[in-house]
Amino acid sequence: MKIVIAVKRVVDYNVKVRVKSDKSGVETAGVKMSMNPFDEIAVEEAVRLKEKGIATEIVAVSVGVTQAQETIRTALAMGADRGILVETEIAVEPLAVAKLLKALAEKEGAELVILGKQAIDDDMNATGQMLAALLGWPQGTFASKVEIADGAATVTREVDGGLETVKLALPAVVTADLRLNEPRYASLPNIMKARKKTIDVVKPADLGVDVTPRLTVINVSEPPSRKAGIKVPDVATLVEKLRNEAKVI
Ligand code: AMP
């Protein structure tokens, strides 16, 4: 079974993001970029499926600027077999990413596509769902457990009320939630090995996809800064303040 995984290059989750002075977006110049954390979980899941002998090949795909090859390289160091960069300078929206992934999943003959549930930069939470719809494949989103057997994926999903288990006939799309697994750190020997693995570079047009944005960003602003808290001497004062000042009890 061939697995395609989608890995996005985003501002590292430890970075305190700054809004550009013209309010057109977030400052990325000179900022540490990393693989989207949910995509690391997607990579880990695919690698575990390969280690179990279920997956035969893992193809890591990223859509973005030339430097997104580093993100693919990280996936290769974690255990993916090869990579494909769909190179574009345009900040691609979920629908366009989904169209590109559809083209690649079909071209590669993938039986499973694993994405992160959400990219931490734009918080869209849409690409996996759109991809499943475009392919006409079943989807298991917010996965906290994935089991593959007899041509089907049994996916445990984290939903509001608890856990929901769905059985999907393969081929299928899965999006990874936080508790699916704990991604490994790539070892030095594997980082070295990853350097020799192939990354093909294609353009969106090669896949017949128009990635022109459909959304216009009007304004990006920082959230209001939080006021400092206060310390109270005892529980009685706390209760009094909650009742009379905050009026929450
Ligand atoms: P989103 O729908 O933007 O929140 O992203 C959900 C998931 O889609 C991410 O966790 C990635 O797995 C995948 N994805 C989104 N954008 C890209 C991209 N530019 N390149 C590769 N994968 C992406």
Q: Do the domain assignments include residue 60?
A: yes
* Residue 62 CA, ligand 1 centroid: distance in Å: 8
Q: Do the domain assignments include residue 78?
A: yes
Q: Look-up: residue for tokens 């859509």? A: 63
Q: Do the domain assignments include residue 249?
A: no
Query: What is the layout of strands, in order, in the sheet containing 139-149?
Result: 162-169, 152-159, 139-149, 172-176, 112-116, 2-6, 57-64, 82-87, 199-202
Q: Do the domain assignments include residue 18?
A: yes
What are the tokens at 82?
């090869």
Q: pTM for this structure?
A: 0.92
Which of 3, 5, 8, 131, when mutated, tests ligand 1's pocket best, judged by the most ligand atoms within 8 Å of its CB? Answer: 8
CA distance 54 to 187: 23
Please give the chain's pLDDT, 249 residues, in tens. Answer: 999 999 999 999 999 999 999 999 999 999 999 999 999 999 999 999 999 999 999 999 999 999 999 999 999 999 999 999 999 999 999 999 999 999 999 999 999 999 999 999 999 999 999 999 999 999 999 999 999 999 999 999 999 999 999 999 999 999 999 999 999 999 999 999 999 999 999 999 999 999 999 999 999 999 888 889 999 999 999 999 999 998 998
Which of 66, 73, 97, 199, when mutated, tests ligand 1's pocket best, judged by the most ligand atoms within 8 Å of its CB? Answer: 97
Q: Which residues line ligand 1 (CB under 6 A)?
A: 6-8, 36, 38-39, 42, 62-64, 92, 94, 97, 115-116, 118-119, 122, 124-128
Task: Give the count of domains, the chain.
Answer: 1
Q: Which residues, at least 6 apart from 170, have a Cβ–Cβ distance to it below 8 Å?
A: 1, 111, 112, 148, 151, 152, 153
142 contacts 117 by C-beta, under 8 angstroms: yes
Q: Do the domain assignments include residue 50?
A: yes
Domain containing 227 — which CATH number?
A: 3.40.50.620
- Domain span at residue 69 reads 2-244
